C-alpha cells in the first residue's frame, strides 16, 4: 500500500521514539545483552592517511609516511600561524594530554603545509559531534576546520563540558528537530550561544504513538522500514526542499563557526551536510563516506539499544529487530536516493545548487573561497 508523505514522515519519527519504549522495558528489570554489528560498523568509511583522535581532553595525532625532514607544529587556535610549539617528526603518534583548547596540528614539508584536527569532538554523552573540515574537494582544496560542526541533540551536554564547547567558538546552533522531539530533550548550551529552531519537517505528534505501536507489534518489517526511510530522504529534495534550502543558506552565510543537529545527528543532519559539501564541490563518494561516519561514531549506542531490543522481545516477541536496526543506522542507499532525484529531476549537482538551493555561480564561488583553502 502506498503511504502519503505525512505517514512516511511519521514512520521515520519512530527512529527517535523506539528508545523510549526500550527504556521503559528496562525499568521492569531487563538489562541489555550484547549485540555484534556487521564488520563495516567498526571501520571508518571516510579514510584519512593522517588524522587526529580526541578522547576527553587528550588528543593524538596519527602520522603515516610523511616526507623525511617534515616538521610538526601545534597551536590551539586555527586563526593564526603562531605561536607554534615544535614537535619531532614521527611516523607514529604525537600525543597531547589535558588540553583546555582544541589543538590544530600543522605538518610542514618544504613549501607544503597540511592542517589536521580531530574530526569527532568527544563530549561524552553526545556521541556524534563532529567537524566537517579537512575534506578534500574536487579541485584539490580543503574544507576549513573549525567552521562547520554537526552533531546529535545536545540535551546531554554537561555544564562541565561548556568550556570545551566554548573553545570551539561556536556562535550559533540550528536545531532541525520538531517541537515534539525537543520536548523534554532541550539543548543544554552556554548562555552566549545563539539558538535557532529550524525544523526540517512538520510536527505530527498525534500519529506517532500509533506508528510506534506498529513497530512494537511487529507490523513494520525490515523492508517496509527501508522503504519508508528512503521516502523520508526523497521528501528532503521535494516537499521539504524549502526548509533545507533556508538552513543551508543560514549556515553558509555565517561569519562565525556554527553547529546544526537533529535528534541522532544522522538523517536530517546528514542531508544538510551532503548539501553543504555539494556546494563546496566535494565528490559524491566522499560525501557518502562522511555521511556513513554516523554508523561508526554511533556504533556503541546502536549495540546497546539493539541489545535492549533483543531482550524486549521476551515481552513483545513479534517486534522486528531488523526494522529497529534500520531506524537506528544510515545506509548509502538512502543518500543515493536523494542524489538520484538531484540528477534525474534537477539536472545534476551544479543545477541543483543553482536552482533548488538558490546559490548562483558567483555566490558559490565566494562560499567556496570562504570555507576552503
Give the strand pairing for 130-131 and 194-197.
unpaired
Q: Alpha carbon 70 to chain centroid distance?
A: 33
Cell of 32: 541489555
Other Cβ atoms less than 10 A from the Cβ of 64: the count is 10
Cell of 339: 542524489
Residue 119 near residue 131, CB atoms below 8 Å: yes
In the chain, residues under CATH classification 2.60.40 are 49-118
For residue 211, say if its preceding peptide bond is cis, omega within 30 degrees of 0.
no
Average pLDDT in the 159-184 region? 96
Please report the pLDDT score of residue 111 as a whole number.
85
Q: Which fold has domain 49-118?
A: Immunoglobulin-like (2.60.40)
In the chain, residues under CATH classification 3.90.190.10 are 5-45+126-371
Give the three-state DSSP class for 142: strand
10 Å CB burial of residue 293 (0-12, 13-18, 19+) is buried
Q: Return d(Cα 330, Cα 274) in angstroms, integer.
A: 13
Please report the pLDDT score of residue 1 as a whole number.
39
Using alpha carbons, select from 165, 187, 184 the residue that is nearest to residue 175: 187
Q: What is the CATH number of domain 5-45+126-371?
A: 3.90.190.10
Question: In what helix (H) or strand (E) does residue 55 lie, and over which residues does it extend?
Answer: strand 51-55
0.85 exceeded by pTM: yes
Please report the pLDDT score of residue 185 as a whole number.
96
Please report the pLDDT score of residue 24 as a whole number.
46
Report which listed range, 30-39, 105-114, 119-128, is most confident. Answer: 119-128
Average pLDDT in the 19-38 region? 58
Is the Cα dihedral 163, 294, 370, 189 positive or negative? negative
pLDDT in tens, 313-361: 888 888 888 988 998 999 999 999 999 999 999 999 999 999 999 999 9
Q: Return d(Cα 336, Cα 79) in angstroms, integer.
A: 36
Could you tell me what percent of the chain has a pLDDT over 70? 85
Q: Return d(Cα 45, Cα 184) in angstroms, integer.
A: 33
Could you tell me what percent of the chain has a pLDDT over 90? 63
Q: Return d(Cα 301, Cα 307) in angstroms, integer.
A: 10
Give the strand pairing for 194-197 and 172-175.
parallel
Average pLDDT in the 224-229 region? 91
Q: Return d(Cα 115, Cα 103) in angstroms, integer.
A: 10
Beta bridge partners of 72: 87, 107
CA dihedral 325, 331, 335, 336 (to 10 degrees): -130
Please report the pLDDT score of residue 79 as a whole number.
53
285 pLDDT more than 60: yes
Amino acid at each position: 500500500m502506498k503511504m502519503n508523505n505525512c505517514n512516511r514522515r511519521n514512520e521515520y519519527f519512530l527512529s527517535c521514539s523506539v528508545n523510549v519504549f526500550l527504556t521503559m522495558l528496562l525499568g521492569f528489570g531487563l538489562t541489555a545483552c550484547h549485540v555484534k554489528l556487521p564488520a563495516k560498523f567498526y571501520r571508518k568509511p571516510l579514510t584519512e592517511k593522517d588524522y587526529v583522535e580526541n578522547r576527553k581532553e587528550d588528543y593524538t595525532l596519527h602520522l603515516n609516511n610523511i616526507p623525511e625532514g617534515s616538521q610538526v607544529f601545534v597551536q590551539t587556535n586555527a586563526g593564526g600561524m603562531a605561536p607554534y610549539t615544535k614537535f619531532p617528526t614521527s611516523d607514529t603518534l604525537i600525543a597531547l594530554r589535558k588540553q583546555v583548547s582544541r589543538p590544530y596540528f600543522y605538518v610542514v614539508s618544504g613549501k607544503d603545509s597540511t592542517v589536521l584536527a580531530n574530526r569527532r569532538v568527544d563530549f561524552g554523552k553526545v556521541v556524534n559531534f563532529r567537524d566537517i573540515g579537512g575534506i578534500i574537494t574536487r579541485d584539490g582544496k580543503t574544507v576549513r576546520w573549525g567552521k562547520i560542526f554537526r552533531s546529535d541533540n545536545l540535551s546531554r551536554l554537561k555544564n562541565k563540558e561548556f568550556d570545551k564547547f566554548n573553545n570551539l567558538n561556536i556562535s550559533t546552533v540550528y536545531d532541525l528537530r520538531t517541537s515534539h522531539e525537543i520536548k523534554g530533550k532541550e539543548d543544554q548550551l552556554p548562555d552566549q550561544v545563539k539558538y535557532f529552531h529550524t525544523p526540517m519537517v512538520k510536527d505530527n505528534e498525534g500519529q506517532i504513538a500509533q506508528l510506534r505501536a506498529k513497530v512494537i507489534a511487529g507490523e513494520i518489517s525490515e523492508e517496509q522500514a527501508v522503504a519508508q526511510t528512503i521516502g523520508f530522504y526523497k521528501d528532503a529534495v521535494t516537499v521539504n526542499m524549502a526548509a533545507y534550502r533556508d538552513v543551508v543558506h543560514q549556515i553558509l552565510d555565517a561569519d562565525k563557526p556554527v553547529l546544526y543537529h537533529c535528534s541522532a545527528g544522522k538523517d536530517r543532519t546528514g542531508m544538510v551536510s551532503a548539501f553543504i559539501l555539494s556546494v563546496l564541490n566535494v565528490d559524491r563518494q566522499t560525501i557518502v563516506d562522511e555521511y556513513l561516519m554516523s554508523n561508526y561514531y554511533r556504533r556503541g549506542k546502536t549495540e546497546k539499544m539493539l541489545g535492549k531490543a533483543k531482550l524486549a522481545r521476551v515481552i513483545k516477541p513479534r517486534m522486528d529487530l531488523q526494522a529497529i536496526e534500520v531506524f537506528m543506522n544510515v545506509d548509502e542507499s538512502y543518500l543515493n536516493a536523494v542524489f538520484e532525484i538531484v540528477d534525474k529531476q534537477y539536472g545534476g549537482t551544479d543545477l541543483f545548487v543553482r536552482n533548488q538551493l538558490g546559490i548562483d555561480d558567483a555566490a558559490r564561488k565566494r562560499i567556496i573561497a570562504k570555507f576552503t583553502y
